[in-house]
């Protein structure tokens, strides 16, 4: 552990020096800590980023984001986890495997059950999940583009094949009235949760690598695997499209999050930094290097709260807190 900390500190100095040459500024970091001594395979924050769930060495871990302790650990019989999700009330935890999903109760720390899922293709595998409580509802995306909505209260399953390739993003909007999805076919859409009919659709030229939304501010961000990164206003009569502006020929975006006030967008790249953007113009405000224990570290999830505090989780199992208010060029 001691060597790991020394490695992190030395790597941080090196990253800062190297990225500084490209205009990456000093980090507005407040604190950081390590939740895993080994690299993580998957990791997600809860809806308010007070909990973090991650898979490492065949174990599914749930911990407090502030580093104050591990809440639960579940040993996995199968190591190939395709996705994990926490319900908005922090009560339920779900993990998807090749053809089934397992759900746990985080309060009672018990396994609630295993649920088989399938797509239209016999070769389809799970790719994305989302879970909700009160009443319990499960969304499952498949590699053939199929989306299933499992309503446990009414013992009902709806299924639609809206994408032509792997589902890469899947969430329910507020009040569970809308379903947001995206796929490797380049399609980003919003569906009516009751009818599963589309209310909004946008097509990118390549597979979608990251999505963020803030529907209360009428904002939807999508990035493809090449050079199309856009901010949309899906509920406007004439949807406005803002492209992110940067000097490079292309960038690859791994994660994204809007600020609750809709003023800023944070994105994680395929390398060891994150970037802050002005939502209204698409202009880059600045980029900041992350703490890293390995040369391949990248951000796997991020969240901004109402106080404009950003929390990030990277593939080295390191959580960092950032205060974007302290930047001189951030003004209301």
Query: What pLDDT was estimated at residue 86?
Result: 98
Residue 240 has pLDDT above 90, yes or no: no
CB 115 within 8 A of CB 94: no
CATH architecture of 35-203: 7 Propeller (2.130)
- Residues forming a β-bridge with 257: 266
Predicted local confidence at residue 26, as pLDDT: 55
Digit-coded pLDDT (tens) for 43-72: 999 999 999 999 999 999 999 999 888 999
Average pLDDT over residues 287-293: 90
Q: Are 35-203 and 206-332 the same fold in CATH?
A: yes
Predicted model pTM: 0.88
Q: What is the pLDDT of residues 193-224, one digit of tens each?
A: 999 999 999 999 999 999 999 999 999 999 99
Sign of CA dihedral 84, 144, 99, 156: positive
Sketch the domain layout of the chain as residue ranges.
35-203, 206-332
Nearest to 150 by CA among 118, 189, 125, 173: 118
**Residue 269: predicted pLDDT:** 87
Task: Report residue 250's pLDDT band, with 50, 70 and 90 as the boundaries.
Answer: confident
Report the alpha-carbon distance of residue 172 to residue 135 in Å, rounded. Answer: 13
**Region 206-332: CATH code:** 2.130.10.10
Question: Starting at the edge strand that comes first in sequence, how are the strands of the sheet with 241-243 ordered?
Answer: 208-214, 219-224, 229-232, 241-243
């Amino acid at each position: 552990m001691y060597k790991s900390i020394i490695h992190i500190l030395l790597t941080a100095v090196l990253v800062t020096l190297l990225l500084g040459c490209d205009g990456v500024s000093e980090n507005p970091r407040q604190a950081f800590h390590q939740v895993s001594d080994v690299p993580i395979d998957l990791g997600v924050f809860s809806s308010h980023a007070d909990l973090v769930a991650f898979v490492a060495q065949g174990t599914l871990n749930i911990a407090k984001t502030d580093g104050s302790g591990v809440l639960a650990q579940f040993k996995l019989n199968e190591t190939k986890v395709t996705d994990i999700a926490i319900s908005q009330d922090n009560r339920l935890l779900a993990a998807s495997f090749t053809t089934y999903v397992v759900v746990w109760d985080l309060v009672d720390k018990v396994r609630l059950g295993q649920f088989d899922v399938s797509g239209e293709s016999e070769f389809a595998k799970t790719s994305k999940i989302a879970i909700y409580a009160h009443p319990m509802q499960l969304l499952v995306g498949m590699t053939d583009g199929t989306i299933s909505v499992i309503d446990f209260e009414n013992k009902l399953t709806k299924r639609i094949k809206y994408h032509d390739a792997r589902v890469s993003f899947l969430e329910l909007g507020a009040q569970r009235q809308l379903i947001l999805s995206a796929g490797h076919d380049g399609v980003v859409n919003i569906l009516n949760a009751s009818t599963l009919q589309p209310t909004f659709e946008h097509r990118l030229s390549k597979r979608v690598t990251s999505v963020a939304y803030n529907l209360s501010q009428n904002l939807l961000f999508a990035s493809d695997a090449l050079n199309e990164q856009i901010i949309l206003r899906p509920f406007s009569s004439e949807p406005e499209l803002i492209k992110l502006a940067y000097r490079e020929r292309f960038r690859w975006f791994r994660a994204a999050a809007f600020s609750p006030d809709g003023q800023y967008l944070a994105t994680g790249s395929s390398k060891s930094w994150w970037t802050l953007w002005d939502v209204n113009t698409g202009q880059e405000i600045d980029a900041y290097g992350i703490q890293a224990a390995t040369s391949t570290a990248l951000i796997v999830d991020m969240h901004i709260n109402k106080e404009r505090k950003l929390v990030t989780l990277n593939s080295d199992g390191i959580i960092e807190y950032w205060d974007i208010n302290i930047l001189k060029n951030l003004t209301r």
